[in-house]
Structure formats: C-alpha cells, structure tokens
Amino acid sequence: MKFIVSSTQLSKELQLLRTIINNNNTIPILNNFLLKLNKNTLTLIASDIETTVQSDLQVESTDTGDIAVPSDIFLDILKAFPEQPLTLIAKDNNIEIVANNGKYSLSYFSGEDFPTIEEIENPNTASLMGDDLAVSINKTLFATGQDEMRPVMTGILFEFSNKNLTFVATDAHKLVKVAFPNISLKNKLDVIVPKKPLQLLKTMLLGSEENVDISYNEKNIRFKFENKLITTRLIDGKYPTYTTVIPKESPNKLRINRNLLLNSLKRVSIFSNKSSFQTRLQIAGKSLIISTEDLDFNSKAEENLTCEYIGDNILIGFNAKLLIEAISNLESDEIELSMSEPSKAALLYPVEENNADKEIIMLIMPTILNDTI
C-alpha cells in the first residue's frame, strides 16, 4: 500500500479527527487513526465508539488497503513537516514516511480490528446550511448541563417537525432556543445529540455556505458535508418539557446596546459575591441601575446606564455570570430583556438577529434578592 499526499493537508485533517479520540481508551485500537486507501481516495477515520468521524483526501495512488496508525506519534511527525509531498509506504507491519530530507518508520495495526461505522436504518433526512448549523450549536452549547446524572440535559435537543427545525439546550438555570420556521420535515422526531461531536461540527462549519445533509433515526444521527462524515449515537431519554417554563407574557421590556450592558455587567460583577454573583437590575423610565455588593469583603459597585424601557418599574436580580454568558453568545448590536415579575424567568432576545428565517430566545432564571445591597 503506497500513496503520495500533501503533508499540510493530511496534518490538518487528522488534527480535526484527533479531538474525537479519548485519552484513556479502554479499547486499544481506538488510539489509532484508520487509513483506508481506494486508489486516489484516502479515507481517514477516528472513533471513540460513540462518535465516528470520517474525512476523504485526494492522493496519488493506484493501491487499495487499510491500516491503523498510532494517532499521537503519527500526528506529531506530520505537524513537524513544512508543506511538502510525502510518500507513505505500508508493508510488513511498518509504515515508512519518505520526506524531502529523510525517512521515518513506525508500526501499524491491521485495519480489520477497527470498529465499522454503524449504518442508520430507515433514516429521516434534513438539510441545513453549514453556518446556520454551526451558529445554532454555538449559541446553545453553553446552556447545556454538566450533571452526568441527568444525561439528557448534557446534550442539545434537535426538534424535527413539520413546522420547523429547533435546537434547545438547558441546565435548568438558563435555556436557549434557536428555531428555523421555514425548515419543515416530513416526520416529527425529537433527538438529543451529545456535545462532543457538536463541538467538532461547530469548528468545521462556522462560515460554511455548504449544505449539511442530516440523516437520523431514534438511535443515531449523521452529518454529511463536503468531504466529511460524522456519525454519533444519540443520548437515550426524554428531554424536559421546556415550553412550560417560557413565559407567554413579559410586558416589561428593556432595550439596550449589547456591548454597553455586557461591559457594565463585567465591571460590576467583579465586586459581587463569588458564590452567587448576585447582581441587581433596577429599571425605571430610561434609567438602568446595575449594582452588587459582597459583604464578606466589604466591596460594592453601582453603574447607571441609559436605556429604552416600556413597563412598570422593576427591581430584579440575576447571577451576573449567567447573564454575561448569555449576552456574550448574542451578536446583535442591541438586545431586549423581557420580564414579567422579579421571581419569574426573563427572556433575552437579539434585536437584529431574529428574522423570518431564524428566531433566537434565551431564558435566564432570576435570583431571589436579599436586602443587603
């Protein structure tokens, strides 16, 4: 088995695939990349059993075959080469790398021992532009839960329906929903996709105008785009009924420049209690007063901002860390914070990003204010 390939292209593809490989695999073969050669197409595969990533490269060859090469040492040597054609020759359990100024050799394993990619039986299908998928993942990932005792909340809910395609994530303190009203699917199915493959998808797809073909059933989901294929098992379980926590009416509406509010919260929160990050928003007319205090260190801060506001005067508390995180994941110049009562969930919207093709809603639970600030 022999082929010639660009050192930079091979290194670039394998660096992406390396993120899927676990550092403490219980199955030794999964510490390797699988290289499958079919004449001038080299297919690179990495897997952690739950997720398998595949990428195709064009090479110079007339051979066929497959081998498994140790991921870390193979990638380390590739990253050390400047751009140049490399000749790789696999023979007698050793793969020889021939570069401009030297030869290098390491052992490989039989590709037959590498797990095969699980086929998706009777799949449903959908299609979405790559950047839209990446942005949806990016805006929801931060809201996923960390509690492994509640695995369904550690992933992102994909709602496929005949009305829209919706992405949802929540950890019970915050919630994000991104909906595409103009994308309708024939069959309704809710699936929960784990974070790890979605983080890789986000990296690969940000800025991409290519369509991503999605195939899915109740057990697996597959994303196909350009020269890549990502297949992953879904998280088993029923996602919480999130719609019941989204307020139907929030008459008190604050509109303000996103960066102005974000930077103010960052400054003020420095002085907040580091266990609660409790920060007050007091809104009346066009005045927004942001304040906090940490009695343990006798520190406090207050800022007064000008805003647009419709509604009753309100005093509401938030965990500033959560609010900063939510606002940081929006991109519009202006944002709107909609509230009903100090004890009920507030909704955060990007003013310019929401349109007929895409809707973004973030929900933040308030904190119970004490009387010390």
DSSP secondary structure letters along 298-348: TEEEEEEEE-EEESS-EEEEEEHHHHHHHHHT--SSEEEEEES-TTS-EEE
Look up residue 366 and give its amino acid.
P
Bridge partners, residue 67, by sequence? 35, 110
User: Do 124-244 and 247-364 agree at the fold level?
Assistant: yes
The whole-number pLDDT of residue 263 equals: 98
Q: Which CATH architecture has domain 124-244?
A: Roll (3.10)
pTM for the whole thing?
A: 0.92
**Is the CA virtual torsion 238, 225, 75, 31 positive or negative?**
positive
Place of tokens 């870390």: 72
Element (H, E) at 254: strand 252-257
What is the maximal distance between C-alpha atoms in the chain? 79
- CB atoms under 10 Å from CB of 351, counted, come to 15
Contact at 8 Å (CB) between 71 and 18? Answer: yes
Joined tokens for residue 298: 């006798």
**Other Cβ atoms within 10 Å of 221 Cβ, number:** 24
Give the neighbor-by-neighbor strand order of the sheet with 189-193: 189-193, 156-160, 165-170, 174-180, 359-364, 346-350, 334-339, 252-257, 308-310
Alpha-carbon distance of 337 to 68, in angstroms, equals 53
Segment-wise mean pLDDT, segments of 10 residues, the chain, 373 residues: 97 96 92 97 97 97 97 96 97 95 95 89 92 95 93 96 91 95 81 96 94 95 96 96 93 97 98 95 97 93 97 97 96 95 95 82 92 48
Domain ranges, ordered by start, for the chain: 2-113, 124-244, 247-364
Give the pair of three-digit tokens for residue 87: 């000749």
Q: Which of 126, 129, 135 is CA-nearest to residue 203?
A: 135
Any residues with CB less than 8 A from the CB of 146 and at least 6 apart, and which? 154, 171
- Residues 49, 52, 55, CA angle at the centre, nearest 5°? 155
**CA dihedral of residues 65, 68, 73, 78 (deg, nearest 10):** 30
Residue 86 structure tokens: 């490399």
Say how many residues make up the chain.
373
Q: What burial letters (b/e) apply to 76-102, b meaning 16+ CB within 10 Å? A: ebbeebeeeebebebeeeebebebeee
Class of domain 247-364: alpha beta
Beta bridge partners of 47: 52
User: What topology is assigned to 2-113 in CATH?
Assistant: DNA Polymerase III; Chain A, domain 2 (3.10.150)
Contact assessment for residue 268 and residue 301, using Cβ atoms and an 8 Å cutoff: yes
The residue among 174, 165, 172, 164 whose CA lies nearest residue 140 is 174
Question: Which residues on neighbouring strands pair with residue 70, listed in sequence order?
Answer: 32
At residue 371, the pLDDT reads: 57
User: How much is the pLDDT for 373?
Assistant: 43
Helix spans in 19-64 (H): none
The rounded distance, in Å, linking the Cα atoms of 347 and 327 is 11
- d(CA 357, CA 115) in angstroms, rounded, equals 40
How crowded is residue 317: how many other Cβ atoms within 10 Å of its Cβ? 20
